[in-house]
Amino acid sequence: MSLEFRCAAVGVTDCKAATHAETADELLEKVAAHALDVHGVELNETLINYALTTVEEK
């Protein structure tokens, strides 16, 4: 099982990136790094909670 997060799922429709990880902690770490590097957005608790609602288990 792995977890998948897509920027498109939270409304960033011009970003095709998908982030995968084995655990939610690892996923959030990768998503936070991506958000900052690619989108210049620092994740706060609200954004993290919203992002977690869109995470899919594959």
Residues at the contact surface with Zn ion, assessed by CB under 5 A: 7, 15, 17, 38
What is the C-alpha to C-alpha distance for residues 55 and 28, in angstroms, rounded to an integer?
A: 10
Min separation Cβ 37 and Zn ion, Å: 9
Min separation Cβ 34 and Zn ion, Å: 6
Min separation Cβ 17 and Zn ion, Å: 4
Beta-bridged to residue 5, according to DSSP, are 19
Looking at beta carbons only, is 9 or 17 nearer to Zn ion?
17
